[in-house]
Structure 1
Amino acid sequence: MATKKASSGGTFSKFIITLIVLIILGLGGTAVFYYLRYFGPQVTANQEYLYIHTGSTFDDVYKTIRDEKIVRDTATFSWAAHQMKYVGHVKPGRYKLTDGMSNRKFIRMLQLGEQDPVDLSFHVFRTKEQFAGFVSKKMEVDSLTLLRYLDSANYVQQFGLDTNNAFVMIMPDSYKLDWNLSADKFYHRMYNHYQNFWTDERKQQAAAINLTIPQVSILASIVDAEAVYDDEMPTIAGLYLNRLRKGMKLESDPTIIFAMHDFTIHRVLNKYLSVMSPYNTYVHTSLPPGPVMMPSVAAVKAVLNYQKNDYLYMVAKEDFSNRHNFAKTQAEHNINAAKFRKALTEHHIMK
C-alpha cells in the first residue's frame, strides 16, 4: 500500500511541474506575442515618409499604410493603434519613416504629431503663379489656394499691402515649415520673415530715398530683372533712382516683358512699348504698382545701398557678356544702343 501512495504522489508532482512549465511557457509566449506587436520591427523601407492629409481619419491612415506597404503586418499595426488609443487622435503631417521602427515608436510619433519639417529653399520666381506651383509640390496646400489668398484684398491688407504688391513680402531664403501648414499660417510665416528683414536701420534707408518699403522691393525687382551680375545692381539702382528724382520715366524693358507676360522676349521692339498696362514704364512715370518678379535679397540691399552716380541710361553690352554700358547723356546712350541693336541683328535675334 505504501508503494501505491508514493506512486500516486509522484504522478501528482509531475502534473504540477508540467502545469507550471506550461504556464511559464504560456506567459513567455504571451510576452513574446506582445513584445513583437509593440516592440518588434514593423516599419519597412518601402517609403521615406508617411503623409497624412488634413481631415484624415484612422481608416484613411490605415489604407495608406496598407497600400504603400509601410508596415510588415497591417493587422498588428491596427491592433497596436487601437490598444494605444491612436484611432481617435489622428494628426496630419509628414512623418519620417525608419526601417525597423516598432509599432509602439511609430504610433507614438503619430500620436504626438512629431512630423519632419519641410526644407523650403528658393531663390527667385518670375511670377506668383510659378511660386505657388513650387510650394504646392513641396507642401500639402494647393497652388490655387495660395493664389486666392494672395489675390484677396481683404486678406493682404492685414500686412499693410495690396493685391499688386503683396508678392514683395515673400523673400527668397531657406525655411523649415510643417508640411500641412495652412495658407494663412504660411503667409504669416513669410510676413514675419519679411518684418525681421526690415530692421529700423533699413526702414531709415528706405525713407532716405523717399521710397516706401514695398516700393523698395518693387524697384529691386526691376534691378534684379536687369542685372545678371550682383556687382552691377548698386549701379543700376543708382541710375533708376536718378530717373525717379528727375521725374523721368524708368523705361525699363523688364516691365514691358512683365506687362506682356511673355518671358521669351529677348528684344523689346518699338511695337511693344505702347502696351496698355500700369507696368509699362515707357508710358507711365514712377514705379509700377507691383514687382515684376520676386526680388532677391541682394537686389533689395542694392537699392538701399545704391551707388551714387550720374547715370541716366543703360543698355546691354554688344559683346553679350550680360553686362551693361551706362551713359549720362542721351547722345552717349544712343551710340551704345546702336551697337547693341547691330549685335542683335547680326546674331539674328529678332524677338
Structure 2
Amino acid sequence: MYIKKILVIIAVLGIVVLSFFSYHIYQSIFAPNTAFESETQAIYIPSKPNYEKDVLKQLKPLLQDAQSFHMVAKQKGYMQNLKPGKYILRRGMSNNDIVNTLRSANTPVAVVFNNQERLENLAGRVAQQIEADSLSLLNSFKDATFLAENGFKPATALAMYIPNQYELYWNTSADEFRARMLKEYKRFWNEKRTQQAKKIGLKKQEVITVASIVQKETAKVSERKRVAGVYMNRYNNGWKLDADPTVIYAIKLQNKSFDTIIKRVLYKDLEIDSPYNTYKYKTLPPGPIAMPDISSIDAVLNYEKHKYFYFVANPEKPGFHMFAKTLAQHNANKRKYVAWINKMGIKR
C-alpha cells in the first residue's frame, strides 16, 4: 500500500513536471515575445549575414526574451537559412511567428527618386533606400560596357533613369537596380511615346535632353508644354536654343561645383566654350542637364504648337513666364524682368 502511494505521488509529480515543461516549451514557441509599443518594427538583414551580429543584435532590443527566440531559431534551423532583406515584425508576434517571417517574408521597399542633377546625386539618393552603397551604384551606372551595349554614352547615361516610385527588395544589388531601371526605361518608351518622338523629329535621348531644359526652366507643370514649344520652334527653325539652364550647367561643370546656386546668367557667361552652352552652339547639349519629370518628357513629346520664340520670367506672376513672338516684344518683357531682378538685388 505504501509503495502504491509512492508510485502515485511519483506519477503525479511526473505529470506536473511534464506539464510545466510542456507549458514552458509552448510559451517559448507560441507566446507573444515582442517588446516594442508600435504596431510594427522593421529589421534589415544584409547580404552574407552573420546570425549573431546581423540578426540577433538587431532583435534583442525588440524582444522580451532573446534567449527563448534563440532556442526556437536553433530548433527550427534558422541559423542555416539566413536570408537578406527587409522584414516587418508586428507587435505581439511569437518566436515561431518571428522565425517564420525571417525565413520567408522579405518585404519590398518603395524606392523613390526625382530631379537628380547627376548620376552622383542619383546614386546617393538610391543608396539611402536599398542596401547597395552609393559608390557601387555609381560605378554600375557609369560602367562603359553596359552603356555601350545599351545605346548610351557617359553624357546620356542619366537619361535611362525615369523618375518615379519603384518597388524593389532592400537587398537589391547595384547591378540589379541598374537592370531594373533599364527595364523600366524600355517600358516607359512604349509604342505611343516612341512614335511621338519620331513624329517630332527627336530621338528618345534627345527628347529627355530637351525635357531636362524644360524642367529647369519652369516648375509649373501647366506651363511646360508651352516652354517646350518655344524650344522646339527654335530647334525646328535652325536657331540656337539660347537656354539659360544649359549655361548654368556649363558653369557648374567647368567649376566642378554642382552645389552652387546661380540665379542670374551674366553676358560673360554666354561666352563659355562648352558643348552645353546653347548660346554658343546650335546643337542640342550632349545629354540631359538634369533628370526631368515624366511631365516634362511628355510636355516635349506633346509640345504646344504656337508661334512663340521667346520667353522670360514674369515678375508679376512668380514661377510663370511672359512669352513673345517677336524680338521687340521680348525685349520689352525682358526690361521688366531686368528691372525687377535688379530691384531684388540678385547679382548672381
Fold-level match, TM-score > 0.5? Answer: yes
Aligned to 2:311, what secondary structure does the other structure show? Answer: strand
Task: Spell out, residue by residue over 1:259-289, the C-alpha distance to the aligned partner (whole angstroms, 9 max, x if none).
Answer: 2225511110112122232211112212111
Count the aligned residue pairs: 340
1:266 aligns with 263
The one of 84, 100, 107 aligned to 2:99: 107
Aligned to 1:283, what secondary structure does the other structure show? Answer: coil
CA distance in 2, matches of 1:78, 1:156: 47
What stretches of structure 1 move > 6 A for 4+ residues in a row?
none
CA spacing shift, 1:65–1:224, aligned 2, 3 Å: closer
Aligned to 2:83, what secondary structure does the other structure show? Answer: coil
Task: Spell out, residue by residue over 1:180-209, the C-alpha distance to the aligned partner (whole angstroms, 9 max, x if none).
Answer: 111111122222222222111111100011
CA distance in 1, matches of 2:79, 2:304: 62
Structure 1 segments unaligned to the other structure (5+ residues): 1-9
2:121 aligned with 1:130:
yes
Alignment of 1:50-69 (within 5 A): 50-65=43-58, 69=61
CA spacing shift, 1:298–1:151, aligned 2, 3 Å: same
1:73 aligns with 65
Task: Spell out, residue by residue over 1:42-100, the C-alpha distance to the aligned partner (whole angstroms, 9 max, x if none).
Answer: 2321782111111112222345236x512222222222222111112111111112222
Q: Tell me how far 1:342 sits from its aligned partner.
A: 1.4
- TM-score, structure 1 normalization: 0.91
Q: Tell me how far 1:250 sits from its aligned partner.
A: 0.6
Q: Tell me how far 1:237 sits from its aligned partner.
A: 1.0
2:182 aligns with 191
Please say if residues 308 and 323 of structure 2, whose CA atoms lie closer than 8 Å, have aligned partners that are also in contact: yes
Aligned to 1:164, what secondary structure does the other structure show? Answer: coil
2:90 aligns with 98
CA RMSD of superposed structures (Å): 1.8
The one of 299, 304, 310 aligned to 1:302: 299
Aligned to 1:45, what secondary structure does the other structure show? Answer: coil
Aligned to 1:56, what secondary structure does the other structure show? Answer: coil
CA distance in 2, matches of 1:318, 1:108: 61
Deviates more, 1:236-245 or 1:126-135: 126-135
2:255 aligns with none
Please say if residues 51 and 79 of structure 2, whose CA atoms lie closer than 8 Å, have aligned partners that are also in contact: yes
Please say if residues 45 and 55 of structure 2, whose CA atoms lie closer than 8 Å, have aligned partners that are also in contact: no
CA distance in 1, matches of 2:317, 2:124: 32
Aligned to 1:325, what secondary structure does the other structure show? Answer: strand
The one of 324, 328, 333 aligned to 2:325: 328
CA spacing shift, 1:88–1:276, aligned 2, 3 Å: farther
The one of 142, 147, 158 aligned to 1:167: 158
Q: Tell me how far 1:298 sits from its aligned partner.
A: 0.7
Given residue 295 of structure 1, which amino acid in structure 2 is its aligned partner?
P
CA distance in 1, matches of 2:57, 2:110: 24
Alignment of 1:113-262 (within 5 A): 114-261=105-252, 262=258
2:81 aligned with 1:89:
yes
Structure 2 segments unaligned to the other structure (5+ residues): 253-257
Aligned to 1:120, what secondary structure does the other structure show? Answer: strand
2:19 aligned with 1:22:
no
CA distance in 2, matches of 1:44, 1:192: 42
Task: Spell out, residue by residue over 1:208-232, the C-alpha distance to the aligned partner (whole angstroms, 9 max, x if none).
Answer: 1111111111111111111121121
Aligned to 2:81, what secondary structure does the other structure show? Answer: coil
Given residue 81 of structure 2, which amino acid in structure 1 is its aligned partner?
H
CA distance in 1, matches of 2:18, 2:151: 68
CA distance in 1, matches of 2:287, 2:16: 76
- TM-score, structure 2 normalization: 0.92
Deviates more, 1:175-184 or 1:38-47: 38-47
Given residue 296 of structure 1, which amino acid in structure 2 is its aligned partner?
D
